[in-house]
A and B are shown apart, each in its own frame.
Chain A
Amino acid sequence: MRESGGASKDRPMPRHGVTPVLGLFLLALLVSCDLSSGNTGPVQIAWRYPLSGSEAGWIGIPAVSGNLVIAEMGPWLRALDLSTGHLVWQTRLSSGLHIGARNVAIAGGRAFVAGADSVYAVDATSGQRLWAFLPDAQGALCQITADSTTVYVGTRSHRVYALSADSGQVRWSVDIGPAWTNPGVVNGIAEAGDTLYVTGLEYLNPSGGFRTAQVIAMTRVSGSELWRYNGPDSANGTNNAASLSGDLLLVADIYGHSFFAVNRFTGMQAWRVPTSGLGPIQAPVVSGTTLFVGGEDNFAYSNNVQTGSARWKVDVGGSIDYVALCGRVLLANDLELRVLDTARGADLQTLLTGVGEDYPTSAFAVRGAQAFVVGNAGAYGLSCPS
């Protein structure tokens, strides 16, 4: 004989077939059937490429080339298959522990990095080293760019070099601050059409406690200056290249606690959005009429590109170094991997929280709904909702 009972006996069924608690429980049960994924939510870790010691922890910007993702891993430049994480090639570019590059630039089947010593070009398919160039000062602080014929590099001597992509020969070079009496650097170069957009940082006193941003448009063919935007005061500055959207150049002003847009044909400021604290280090990323940017003030921001008007901002808990659009979601790296809803900034998921030693350190490289990031113990392929 059996008997049974309980609260619901002889009671009407609830309006919903499964209560929230039961739903979560059911979800947990389902997930327990496939624990290899290690996570639930919109973004999945598709693969993990383990890194140890000095290979891990790069804080730079990787790049996608076809189905490969190319990143610095200690002294190595490595290409991994973006879908599987398999190592395709690796090339050692430093006799020390790190190459020290800010980013990887891809163009014309080549990958370019500006390391702590030299600027390198390698074949993006095979990893074969093509050439090295020794600038007058380090280019490691600059987010470089390239096209099929030329690679553009900035230095801590505030000089911009245009190098032949084929040979590394200097096509031209210019000093963006020949009259500067204090240190300054070129820390980012973007390009569009026949123009380069150079972001620089000028110290206004010897130690750099006072600093200001410089944004300079110059011709791609000769480096001739077209216009120059000067930061508004003595507490502003950039760390990376600008991004482009239509007529606008979008700039992250970390020290000026803001991000702003200038007309890329006139150099006139279109708008400036103050952040809640320290500004972003990475220029905004754009989708249609909307931009997304992460601040060192812990906030992720979404704004209208043309006007700068706010759509939303959310506090994620830590200083955001990088964001990226991946499929239908926004990824943010604040030494944890946050997944945000692009419409409202809602926190959808947190991955790589550092427990088990994995947390992200680099920027993201994205192709469609696939993303890549380097962390302190591995490199990760991410699968986003498309």
Chain B
Amino acid sequence: MTLRGIASSIAIAGLVVACTSDSGTGPTTARSGGPVEHQQLQDPNINPNDTYVVLDAASTNTGTITYDTQTVNPTTGQSVTSVTMPSPLASEFHVEIGYDVNGILRADVTGTWPIGTDSTSVSVPDAYRVVLSNGQLTEYNAAGAVLAPSTLPSDSEPAGSSFLNQLGNQLLHGVLTNGVLVDSLQAVAAPPSPSGSLITFSRILTTDANHRSIVATGPGLVGRGWGNKVKGYHRDGSKWVLDSIAGDYNSASNGFSLHTHQVLRLKNVQWNVNPAMDSSRNAFLAANPGPHIGRDTTSQTSLGNVRGILERQQCAPGQCGDGGGGGTGGGTGGGGTPPPPGQNIVFQHGLFNAGGVWSRMDGWLAPEFSFGTTLLPSLSATARAQTQTDQLISDVAATGQTHFLIVGHSMGGLIARRAAQERPDLFSGVLTVGTPHVGAFLALQSKAVIANILTYLANELWYGCTSYNEDPGCAVAYFVASVGVSAAVEFAANALVPANIDLQPGSAFTTALNTATETFPRVGIESYSPKRWVLARLGGDSQCFPENPTCGGRAWAKYANDAYWGARLLQILGAMVGNETIYDVGTRIVDVMDYIDYQWDWWTAPGDQTDGVVQGRSQVYPRATANLSIPGGDSHDGEPNSDKTRTKIEQAFDQVFLVPRLN
């Protein structure tokens, strides 16, 4: 036996152990060793006289990514060349799948979601339940409300539907007795080779009389990145019932490698079989397999080949949001008093930005508050912080006026504080938004490494895609690679960005800043975005205003969520009807999306809240007059344009800085 053969055997043995040990002593093993769960069909639209299954499913995903160079673990400060998800990212579902009275496949999946990567998940409006009916997918949130399909430009199909089209006619007529319930394991182990299928099960391993596993291996699988795959079954009456599917996925490219291990466990299975109906369905599918629409799993394309869609995602001037402001005039006011002297104000941008980033906020606030001189300076946005501070002081001093209240976003908040510390005669107060007061973890990382790894992961998500619109996962992959990465890495280390030195945790600049005396009123606004899909959110917010329903960060976060749920249902449906290729596509998408979130969080805000760029604790203004936090906030790039930020700024203007209201 060759070394490769030995390794393969060991891997198979490990997978077999995973499958059989997870199933315990028998198919009736209950959750947490407790009493057997009694499963009853609850969905009234599933025909109880036809074939159906009711079960609980648990999906876990572990993995390791290895880099071609070192990256910094922000928790330990150590340089490492690989990152491993420390514990399985687990998701649990209750699944009911069968047929409606017309014999059309219907699935009803309810879950607790997400678990693992998102400490703020309670406020994430994720799909909680998905229902497949007549080939269409409907998502519900945890409160039971229907989630509207995404309406991103150039995507005219309902969320997730283009994923499901890959099932061909199995989408409507898939047969459960070909997947989750089978008569013969030999038939599964030697199936006819469907077009495009990469999976062939060839070996049956017997654990005992009632428990068996079937194993798929082969150079074709390894060449495509798929490692070994094992399905575990237990006998229940005349049927073999699927207990688990465990598989490995390995990929390597340009010095990076990804290894993941996925297990889907099924338990508490209750079922009914109508052989006559299943026979009819099988006959139909044999004659009408239906077109394969969707990812071409036999081809390899990369994101670099499909540039061009990005232009459609960018908002033309005036198309993103309302631009704020816009009084209606007229009215019957009291003819009141002249306002108090206007508050001189400076809106200071952050890294890689310019004064215009605050235009919308100025447009919102100027009609509400009595402003005097208003400045939106554009400094040398990548220069050292002290250089920018000097420029700011020079700009403000040139006005000949004093008592400026300065509002700084991100690094602009650090510059604002420094300027006010040096020239209290010019500045009367500081308000920071999303500012890294004690540095940003992200600044420790190499911009090139982060960009390369995220692009690599996005390419993994792009697996089998040939166009942006092929399915929601393809769209998210493209968007993350094209826009999300560039938006996200602005704080990362780059030798061409001198400011990065000052943004690193413990920098001399921030240390001096935080030890200096500040006698002016000072407010820090902290924005905490849901961690789930925050890269997509950052990308959207870098292109459009956050609330824009088609291209803002909120829309992109929802779109990523839709893609994830579509892929998850694809995975479950693939397992249920025995379509291995579809199962693998769904599994790979959810794995990679999980890993993208995990990896980004590992770099930026492990164990902390975040706006996607600056970790929560660093956004807190030390010894501030007031720190105001926004839950469910927009991402770092969206903060200056966010209506939620506006609400908190208004509060601070009113209550801390006593900025006069405009008549």
Please tell me if the beta carbons of B110 and A7 are within 8 angstroms of each other in the complex: no
Most buried by A among B56, B125, B643: B643
Stretch binding the partner chain, chosen from A80-88, A144-152, A313-321: A313-321
A278 vs B238: C-alpha distance when bound (angstroms): 66
Stretch binding the partner chain, chosen from A13-21, A191-199, A242-250: A13-21
Please tell me if the beta carbons of B120 and A115 are within 8 angstroms of each other in the complex: no
Stretch binding the partner chain, chosen from B267-275, B285-293, B497-505: B267-275
Across the interface, name the chain A residue whose C-beta is closest to B125: A355
Please tell me if the beta carbons of B271 and A14 are within 8 angstroms of each other in the complex: no
Chain B residues with CB under 8 Å of A274's CB are none
Q: Does B399 contact A (CB under 8 A)?
A: no
Across the interface, name the chain A residue whose C-beta is closest to B370: A116
Across the interface, name the chain B residue whose C-beta is closest to A102: B654
Please tell me if the beta carbons of A361 and B519 are within 8 angstroms of each other in the complex: no
Among B140, B239, B558, B658, contact of A208 (Cβ-Cβ < 8 Å): B658
Q: A141-B658, A296-B626 are in contact. Are A8 and B270 (CB under 8 A)?
A: yes
A94 vs B328: C-alpha distance when bound (angstroms): 11
Please tell me if the beta carbons of B336 and A116 are within 8 angstroms of each other in the complex: yes
A3 vs B270: C-alpha distance when bound (angstroms): 11
B421 CB to closest chain A CB (Å) equals: 11
Please tell me if the beta carbons of B661 and A98 are within 8 angstroms of each other in the complex: yes
Q: Does B27 contact A (CB under 8 A)?
A: yes
Q: Does B149 contact A (CB under 8 A)?
A: no
Q: Does B70 contact A (CB under 8 A)?
A: no
Q: Does A93 contact B (CB under 8 A)?
A: yes
Please tell me if the beta carbons of A35 and B146 are within 8 angstroms of each other in the complex: yes
Give B51-94 as 1s and 0s: 1 = Cβ < 8 Å from A's Cβ atoms.
00010100000000000000000000000000000000000001
B557 CB to closest chain A CB (Å) equals: 9
A38 vs B145: C-alpha distance when bound (angstroms): 5
A374 CB to closest chain B CB (Å) equals: 11
Please tell me if the beta carbons of A94 and B333 are within 8 angstroms of each other in the complex: yes
Please tell me if the beta carbons of B625 and A209 are within 8 angstroms of each other in the complex: yes
Please tell me if the beta carbons of A116 and B661 are within 8 angstroms of each other in the complex: yes
Among B37, B122, B367, contact of A8 (Cβ-Cβ < 8 Å): B37
Chain A residues with CB under 8 Å of B647's CB are 57, 59, 335, 361, 376
Please tell me if the beta carbons of A239 and B655 are within 8 angstroms of each other in the complex: yes
Q: Does B192 contact A (CB under 8 A)?
A: no
Across the interface, name the chain A residue whose C-beta is closest to B647: A361
Listed in ascending order, the chain A residues whose CB lies under 8 Å from chain B are 1-9, 11-15, 19, 21-22, 24-32, 35, 38-41, 53-54, 57, 59, 75, 92-98, 100, 102, 115-118, 120, 129, 132, 134-135, 137-138, 140-141, 156, 183, 185, 187, 205-211, 235, 239, 254-255, 277-278, 281, 296, 298, 316-319, 321, 334-336, 347, 350, 353-355, 357, 359, 361, 376
What are 29 A-B pairs at a CB distance below 8 A? A7-B30, A11-B38, A25-B96, A41-B143, A53-B322, A53-B326, A75-B333, A93-B334, A96-B333, A100-B368, A117-B333, A137-B337, A137-B340, A141-B658, A207-B424, A207-B521, A208-B428, A208-B520, A208-B656, A209-B519, A209-B520, A209-B625, A211-B625, A277-B627, A281-B655, A317-B528, A355-B558, A355-B632, A359-B644
Listed in ascending order, the chain B residues whose CB lies under 8 Å from chain A are 27-28, 30, 35-40, 42-44, 49, 54, 56, 94, 96, 108, 110, 120, 122-123, 125, 128-129, 140, 143-146, 236-239, 241, 267-276, 322, 325-337, 339-340, 367-368, 403, 424, 428-429, 518-522, 528, 547, 554, 558, 625-632, 643-644, 646-648, 650-651, 654-658, 660-663
**A7-B28, A353-B123 known, 4 other contacts, Cβ within 8 Å:** A4-B271, A21-B110, A118-B335, A140-B654
Per CB-CB distance, the 10 closest pairs between chain A and chain B, nearest first, are A117-B336, A31-B144, A6-B270, A118-B334, A318-B631, A116-B661, A132-B334, A100-B661, A95-B333, A4-B272
